[in-house]
Structure 1
Amino acid sequence: LLWLIALASGLPLPWLVGSAGLGGVIGTISILANEYQRLRVTSFLDPWKDPQGNGYQLVQSLLAIGSGGVTGTGYGLSTQKLMYLPIQTTDFIFAVYAEEFGFVGSLVLLLFLAIFAVVGLQVAMRARSNQTRLVAIGCTALLVGQSLMNIAVASGAMPTTGLPLPLVSYGGNSLLASLATAGLLIRCSLESSDQHA
């Protein structure tokens, strides 16, 4: 998030590339040094190798997504949420959603995310002050980026990160933070429209 805000603020590209490279090196060292992180990455690469152990969460998530088919099983009719899929109300809520609403429902959710991203970037482009523009970009990147990461984890495109799906996952802290972030974006939009009036 900070990297994207720094990119939007116009920091020199060599600095940004250097910081991203340094972050990648530190992340690689951390994964190699900590066994639990290494197991998480290897189980993500092949969850079927240990479907009852380290790959259990991802296997159950993929089974839920696949069970949804094209149109889903119907609202409230997910079987994976009946204690088969761990952490189904927060980290893996997308798997339950995809099982109940299917491929079509998942595309609709991604369409809503794309619309939210476009509207957030339009708010940032209309902003007169640099501070408002960066806040709008940060709010949009936080909500959309975290949503995409959650979906990527549930669908097996990324290792498990423990991020909830903003405005969807159960839990007061996540919902409160997501609503506050959306409120900041609305405030940026109101400031932009006041300046245009």
Structure 2
Amino acid sequence: MPGRVLLVVDMLNDFIREDGALYSGPEAVKIVDKVAALVKEFVSRQEAVIFIMDAHAPDDLEFKRFPAHCIKDTPGAEVIAELVDCAAPGETVYKVYKNRYSGFFNTGLEQILNEIEPDEVHVTGVCTNICVLYTVEELCNRDYQVVVHRDGVASFDQEAHRWALQQMESVLGVDII
């Protein structure tokens, strides 16, 4: 049944908590309430919520560029409690584990979206200029109508955050609301 889908990208302890291995900064903390409200809204309407979750092996090559973070089966790789409390995994709540910037690379995201056939894909999460951007780009390549919530995305780098939003809007044709 067509409708909307909410993607929640990397709202994980290692990115959102100040003591996280790769803390995304105070701007990331500021979006938690907005993302939680969106999760509640989508769940209450029985619209799909898909948590896109960074999940790395301890020896992942990405750790040559970034500090080790979101190691599989550790607390740092778990969705923050504020969002878990809004949506327990179930009929309309999914978890997709990734080990690259895009939520599509070697994951089940495409299959889930193909089954749901959404009219719109709404996107929130961190980091705007990394995993959010590369996941949005892949959504656009697959001709999805994409909506990014300006107050539901954040980055540790404000200049890159603004640049990514501008690219998504002007180059990819994404609706930024």
Q: Which has the higher contact order (CA 8 A, sep 6+)?
A: 2
What TM-score do you get using the length of structure 1 for normalisation? 0.24
* Structure (1 or 2) with the greater helix fraction: 1
What TM-score do you get using the length of structure 2 for normalisation? 0.26
- Answer with 1 or 2: which has the greater Rg: 1
